[in-house]
Amino acid sequence: MTIHTPDWVKHAVFYQIFPDRFARHPGLVEDYETMSPLNLEPWDAPPTPHGYKGGNLRGVTSRLDYLKDLGITAIYFTPIFQSACNHRYHTFDYFQVDPLLGGNEAFFEMLHAAHARGIRVVLDGVFNHTGRGFFQFHDIVENGFQSPWSNWFKVRQFPLNAYADDPKEHPPNYDCWWNLRALPTLNHDNPAVREYIMRVAEHWIRAGIDGWRLDVPEMITAKNFWQEFRQRIKTINPDAYIVGEVWVDARSWLDGEQFDGVMNYLFTKAALSFLGHEHLDRKVLHDNFKDLNLVDAATYARTIENILALYPKEILWTQLNLLNSHDTARFLSTVGINIHIAKLGALLLFTFPGAPCIYYGDEIGLEGHADPDCRRGFPEGKNWKLELLETYKKLIALRHREPVLSTGHYKTLVAKDMLYVFARVCAHNPSDAIIVATNNSASSVEISVPLEHCLPIGKNFSIIYGDGACDTERSSDCQMLRLKIPPFGGVCAK
């Protein structure tokens, strides 16, 4: 079977936005305040589980030029549909953008402005569960077994105790995500539910979005559900991106008939394992990373090779690679606020096969521990870590300038102690290659890297990223690249 994935994703740089926290357009807030004062948290105050800060989509529109200048070509939004929580994973209405975000009008203004700048937009599809305010669930709460929607959810007993005062004495009597009564699980075996979700997904693709990120897709086990989802979405837009939130080996979803890629948390975990030495703050690790072992370069190399061996190249090139997300502590905070390690993480991210995804604020050093702290408001410029921003700008520009970083072969060259060196090599032109070296130690390193097995003899190299140095040594049958890499530093040579 031939696997087809969207070509644009292979060359994309994504930016993940948590809408309540990225930017607040004051005009929209004032509109609401004329009706009733909004009870918003101060923008710079620590985020709380239930508080709103008032970020909105017109605020995003006002910052599109910033994203364009940064080099962003695609935005992934966490949920934007009407909901009763700041993260909006408790959906009320899948056809209406939340009024606090500006509603449908503000969304389409943003979508058109993004497209005009060459920035694509991917939305979060929360199709496993809804919020309690979802019309069909609310009807069951009111009318019990007589509700015409009673089989839209998996109800074990009537009446529903959706708002029990004591959840231990009165646990939910219907299926819900992680037994959280505020997140009732849809009955995907019901053809009406299945068709409803398909039509929601089709509606927004027809409206112009460029793809779906699918929340907890492994929870939906109805037969051929995701195969049908892909067929219906791709019929409307063959270039639409379908990416799943899967934290583990995702081969069962990446067979060419379901998703184009997944959020590549396998890469995230590997990068933390290698870069976390002497810096890792285990207290803030996500539960899925609690078993994380700190490793040397050789173990990291084997881990990466195992990850790369999981999927066909068409899938590798459309994975969504990330260092952190709205569900994890910030990478910078996880590695002890060490800017040098954050730079090394960014270097690994932007030189790895697949589309790099920046969680809003990573590029300016936004900190944050576990949820909700990882969802802080985007800070004012005076609080930016400009050294890190400059690194991100250079790496994004390098990624755009060098297609081999998007679709080139990946080959480990050296993995010793805390030194890791690899090559990205063009399949059709082996002389088009970039050598990437990372030194995760407190001492500078000088090393000779053998190149004869991956590159034609005769190629000269120079540093195109980083503060190290290089020169080339060659004989009739051998070529060596001599590299000097500073402590906790990284370089790219071409």
* Cis preceding linkage at 47, omega within 30: no
Task: For residues 375 and 458, give the distance between their C-alpha atoms in angstroms, rounded to a whole number.
Answer: 50
From the list 210, 215, 362, 363, the catalytic residue is: 215
State yes or no: is 215 an active-site residue.
yes
State yes or no: is 281 an active-site residue.
no
Whether residue 48 contacts residue 80, with contact meaning beta carbons closer than 8 Å, is answered with no
164-180 residues labelled b (16+ CB within 10 A) or e (exposed): eeeeeeeebbbbbbeee
Q: Give the number of other CB atoms < 10 A from CB of residue 341.
A: 24
Closest CA relative to residue 67, chosen from 120, 25, 24: 120
Whether residue 102 contacts residue 56, with contact meaning beta carbons closer than 8 Å, is answered with yes
Dihedral (C-alpha) 94, 96, 98, 104: value to the nearest 10 degrees? 140
Closest CA relative to residue 269, chosen from 221, 334, 204: 334
From the list 245, 314, 327, 362, the catalytic residue is: 245
Dihedral class, residue 493 (left if φ above 0, else alpha if ψ from -120 to 50, else beta): beta
Q: Beta strands 463-465 and 120-125: pairing type?
A: unpaired
Positions annotated as catalytic residues are 215, 245
